Amino acid sequence: MAHATGIGRLAGLAVGLGIGAALAANAGTASADEFDFQISIDGYDLIPAADTSATATSGTGDFAIAIGDGASATANDGSFDAAFADGTDSVALTGGGNFDFASAVGDGSGAGSGDSNGDIAMANGTDSAAFAGGDSVTDVVTTNYPGNNDFAYALGPNTEAIAGGYFGVETDSNNDTALVIDPFGTAGSTASAGTGDNDFAAAFGDMLHAMAVAGNDLFTILPSL
C-alpha cells in the first residue's frame, strides 16, 4: 500500500511539473499557432485536428496532452489515466488499466504504461524509453509487461527503463522499479526489473545495464556500491 501511495503522489507531481514546465516554455517562445499542440479530456479534443500534427486521444475519465510535430499521447482504455508527450515524434500511451501515467519528453522518446493498475512510465531524453506494467507501443516496440504498481523512469538520451518484465517475457509482476539516471551520457544505459515482485534495478551513469529479473525481491544498482 505504501508503494502504491508513493507512486500515486509521484505521478501527480510529475503531471504538474512536467506539463507546467512544457507549457511555460512553449508559451514563452511561440504563440499557439506556431507549434503543434493538442489536448484531449474525457474523450474530447480541445483543438481541431486539422490545425496541428500533434494528436491526443482520451477516454472517459482520462486526459492526454501532446506537444510537438508528430507527437502522440493516448489514454483511452482505462479510467483515470493520463498521457503526456512532448517532443518531435514522441509517443506516450496508457493501456487498459486504471490510474496509470505515461510521459515521454524528448524527440523520439516513448513511454508506455497501463495494461494493469497504478503503473507509471516516464522517459525524458532524446530517443529515451520507459515501459511499466502494461501494453507498451512506440514506433519500434510492441510488447507486454503485465503487473500492478510498476514504476519505470529513464533520464538521458538513448536510455531505457522497463518495470514489470523485460523484452520477450510476459509475466504478472508487481511493485517493480526500474531507474536510469544518465543525463549527460551519449551511449545510454538500461534498467530492467520484474518477472517477479518487488524488484529494483537502477543504473546511474552511461553504458550500464542493470537487471533485477526472474525472481522476487531482487535488488541491483550499477555501478556497484
At residue 130, does pLDDT exceed 80? yes
Tens digit of each residue's pLDDT (9 = 90 or more) over 132-190: 885 444 433 444 556 788 999 999 999 999 998 665 555 677 899 999 999 999 999 99
Place of cell 534495478: 201
At residue 18, does pLDDT exceed 60? no
- Percent of the chain residues topping a pLDDT of 90: 52
Mean residue pLDDT across the chain: 80
pLDDT interval class at 47 (50, 70, 90) = confident
pLDDT interval class at 10 (50, 70, 90) = very low
- Give residues with Cβ within 8 angstroms of 41, minimum separation 6: 58, 62, 63
Rounded-to-integer distance, Cα 155 and Cα 111, Å: 12
Specify the pLDDT at position 166. Answer: 61
Rounded-to-integer distance, Cα 203 and Cα 42, Å: 37
pLDDT interval class at 213 (50, 70, 90) = confident
Question: What number is the average pLDDT over the span 23-47?
Answer: 68
Rounded-to-integer distance, Cα 3 and Cα 80, Å: 19
